[in-house]
Amino acid sequence: MAHNSVIKGIEVDTETRCIHYHSEIDRIAIKFFCCGIYYPCYECHEAVGCGTNKVWPKEQFDEKAVLCGACGHELTVNEYLECASTCSACSASFNPGCSLHKHLYFEQ
């Protein structure tokens, strides 16, 4: 559990890092559209998730779907995509490399 949100995954720490992504700036979890559950990464979802992967449709980018592991603030998809890898609530840095995987979470 990170900041009152349940985060599923493998070896998840208090800032949402997991066995797959665990650098200092790996501190977000993404609520998967298919199951509505937060996971630190797509690999954790593949390993222990719902067995289905559906990305967030563009028309629902105003829904809260990204959790800052530093402060627990929930960002909408739009806020996350526009945040320049920084939490809008606490200014914690997010891993900019996560943008390489955005197609796995959000409709392009």
pLDDT in tens, 11-34: 999 999 999 999 999 999 999 999
63 assigned to some structural domain: yes
Q: What is the pLDDT of residue 2?
A: 65
What is the token pair recorded at 17?
């890092």
pLDDT tens, N- to C-terminus, the chain (108 residues): 567 789 999 999 999 999 999 999 999 999 999 999 999 999 999 999 999 999 999 999 999 999 999 999 999 999 999 999 999 999 999 999 998 999 999 999
7 assigned to some structural domain: no
C-alpha atoms less than 13 angstroms from C-alpha of 54 in its C-beta half-sphere: 11
77 assigned to some structural domain: yes
For residue 62, give its domain range.
28-104
Q: Look up the pTM and report it.
A: 0.95
CA separation for the pair 46, 41 (Å, rounded): 9
